[in-house]
Amino acid sequence: MLRNDQLDQWDRDSFFHPSTHLAEFARGNLPQRVVTGGSGCYIQDRDGTRLLDAFAGLYCVNVGYGRSEIADAIAEQAKELAYYHAYMGHGTEASITLAKMILDRAPSHMSRVYFGLSGSDANETNIKLVWYANNILGRPEKKKIISRWRGYHGSGLVTGSLTGLELFHKKFDLPLPPVLHTQAPYYFRRPDRSMSEADFVTHCVTELEQLIETQGADTIAAFIGEPVLGTGGIVPPPDGYWPAIQAVLDKHDILLIADEVVTGFGRLGSMFGSDHYGMRPDIMTIAKGLTSAYAPLSGSIISEKLWSVLEQGTDENGPIGHGWTYSAHPVSAAAGVANLQLIDAQDLVAQAGAVGAYLNAAMADALKGHPHVGEVRGEGMLCAVELVRDADASVFFGADEKVGPRVAAHMLEHAKVIARAMPQGDILGFAPPFCLTKGQADEIVAATVQAIAATLQ
Ligand code: PMP
């Protein structure tokens, strides 16, 4: 075992951490937490500190830590066959079984699953497939993709462009030109306080229609959205939003990509967000909850309609020129099979719905009327607390005050509860593992109330 100071030095000198202030980290001004273990909803660091992980890693360890069923499946697969590729018709029992299990759970019009490694690469695949399909259909001008401000779809070149958060664009020369952004369905931050929810839905839909009209529907290939905005603030859509958006897309022959990286496999208390909100996607992006992050794996679930165009494309052009070395990696696929079996066996989707509803109700109740809480919102096992300077007048804090990060830091230090300060706005995000108990939900609520009081007194 390495000495702590040695490991800390190597960490500062060798390791490029994602989404981190690089200079401050190198100078030793940021906390360095070396995580050594996890069980249920808790992780433990090398100092023996036990933390209640109310964000399930990055909302991905859905079944909780330390599940030996998944660990054993990974070990068995690695011993039997650690790797073989999936090119040119090759496969493994694990990857084939997992594709079948995913389709058994997906909406009935979905037809095939392409496997990747991360949510970002899956969305990259999706955009390529949409472009390919429109070339096959003889409409090469129909290529633009509409995303929403505050959407999160990855950190690659196209996917970082789809992401509608300034931090992910600034100094990277993004977004790239084929990507356009429209209004997020964020009712709390509606442009005019007097708008009803229904007015606001009409406002979002009108803005989308105007964008389509200005650009020309014959230049727009697809619309991508998360059923519930995640990283952009954990924002469930207002009633009627998705059916209204779907109607506009259908009218203009624009494909819908439902990015279910966070919502897929139960986080909303339904198997998919598309089921939950009555969306009819042409492609669904899945990752995180597919393996509960026990191994990296993502997927693009393709509708029958799109699949038939892809088949036509290969009849005309030969094998599809798209593939990763690690597509359908057998070890990750084995983790996926074991994970989905565990979710079924323990009825974890229902538990996410029930305990998530309890967490949301308890949080809303505890913070009702708080002068600095603008909104408590959520769906299933997703919950957010939006902090504001003045709840009555809806005045926000300045970004430089870092209120969200300070409250989250207080929770971590004093209550040993991990909440996530979402990257844009003073929003505390909660997305615990589905095995959360009501007692642990109460702990999260108490820690939140206490940290807000201590930080904003
Ligand atoms: N889509 C959504 C909705 C996500 O939340 C994320 C990651 N938080 C991604 C895509 C990108 O996934 P990854 O980080 O695995 O590339």
Question: pLDDT (tens digit, 9 = 90+) per residue, 276-306?
Answer: 999 999 999 999 999 999 999 999 999 999 9
What is the pLDDT, as a whole number, of residue 394? 85
The Å distance, Cα 116 to ligand 1 centre, comes to 12
Q: Which residues line ligand 1 (CB under 6 A)?
A: 58, 118-120, 123, 152-154, 226, 230-231, 259, 261-262, 287
Q: Does a structural domain hold residue 216?
A: yes
Q: How far is CA 448 from CA 212, 428, 433, in A?
A: 42, 9, 18
User: Is residue 2 over pLDDT 70?
Assistant: no
Pocket test for ligand 1, best of 145, 288, 332 (most atoms within 8 A of CB): 288
- Ligand 1 atom at minimum distance from 151 CA: 3
Number of structural domains (the chain) is 2
The Å distance, Cα 165 to ligand 1 centre, comes to 13
- Ligand 1 atom at minimum distance from 155 CA: 16
The Å distance, Cα 153 to ligand 1 centre, comes to 5
Question: pLDDT (tens digit, 9 = 90+) per residue, 13-23?
Answer: 999 999 999 99
User: Is residue 1 over pLDDT 70?
Assistant: no
Pocket test for ligand 1, best of 127, 147, 262, 297 (most atoms within 8 A of CB): 262
Query: Confidence class of residue 393 from pLDDT cuts 50, 70 and 90?
Result: confident
Burial of 177 per CB tally in 10 Å (0-12, 13-18, 19+): exposed
pTM of the model: 0.98
How many other β-carbons are positioned within 10 Å of the β-carbon of residue 321?
9
Are the CB atoms for 127 and 335 separated by under 8 Å? no
The Å distance, Cα 119 to ligand 1 centre, comes to 4
User: Is residue 99 over pLDDT 60?
Assistant: yes
Are the CB atoms for 415 and 451 separated by under 8 Å? yes
How many other β-carbons are positioned within 10 Å of the β-carbon of residue 234?
25
What residues pair up with 147 in beta bridges, in sequence order?
181
Q: Does a structural domain hold residue 440?
A: yes
Edge to edge, what strands does the sheet with 420-421 contain?
373-379, 382-387, 427-430, 420-421
Q: Which two tokens stand for residue 232?
A: 């952009």
For 332-399, the DSSP string reads: HHHHHHHHHHHHHHTTHHHHHHHHHHHHHHHHHHHHTT-TTEEEEEEETTEEEEEE-SBTTTTBPPPG
What is the pLDDT, as a whole number, of residue 177? 92
The residue contributing the CA closest to ligand 1 atom 13 is 119
Q: What CATH number corresponds to the domain at position 393?
A: 3.90.1150.10
The Å distance, Cα 322 to ligand 1 centre, comes to 20
User: Is residue 3 over pLDDT 80?
Assistant: no
Q: Which of 345, 380, 411 is where one domain is finished?
A: 345
Question: pLDDT (tens digit, 9 = 90+) per residue, 327-375?
Answer: 999 999 999 999 999 999 999 999 999 999 999 999 999 999 999 999 9
Q: How far is CA 27 from CA 10, 58, 167, 307, in A?
A: 13, 26, 22, 51
Range of the domain at 384: 33-63+347-456
Q: Can you tell me which residue has the tokens 């249920």?
A: 40
Q: What is the mean pLDDT of residues 384-392?
A: 96
440 CB contacts (<8 Å, ≥6 apart)? 41, 52, 432
Same domain, 450 and 302: no
Same domain, 319 and 214: yes
What is the pLDDT, as a whole number, of residue 130? 98
What is the pLDDT, as a whole number, of residue 457? 82
Question: pLDDT (tens digit, 9 = 90+) per residue, 208-249?
Answer: 999 999 999 999 999 999 999 999 999 999 999 999 999 999
Same domain, 245 and 113: yes
Same domain, 302 and 157: yes
Using CA atoms of 405, 408, 410, 412 in order, give the dihedral in degrees to the nearest 10. Answer: -130
Q: Which of 326, 345, 364 is where one domain is finished?
A: 345
The Å distance, Cα 126 to ligand 1 centre, comes to 13
- Ligand 1 atom at minimum distance from 285 CA: 1
pLDDT above 90: percentage of residues in the chain: 98
User: Is residue 379 over pLDDT 70?
Assistant: yes
The Å distance, Cα 298 to ligand 1 centre, comes to 10
Nearest to 256 by CA among 287, 285, 222, 231: 222
Same domain, 279 and 151: yes
Question: pLDDT (tens digit, 9 = 90+) per residue, 248-270?
Answer: 999 999 999 999 999 999 999 99
- Ligand 1 atom at minimum distance from 121 CA: 16
* Distance separating alpha carbons of residues 102 and 247, to the nearest angstrom: 27
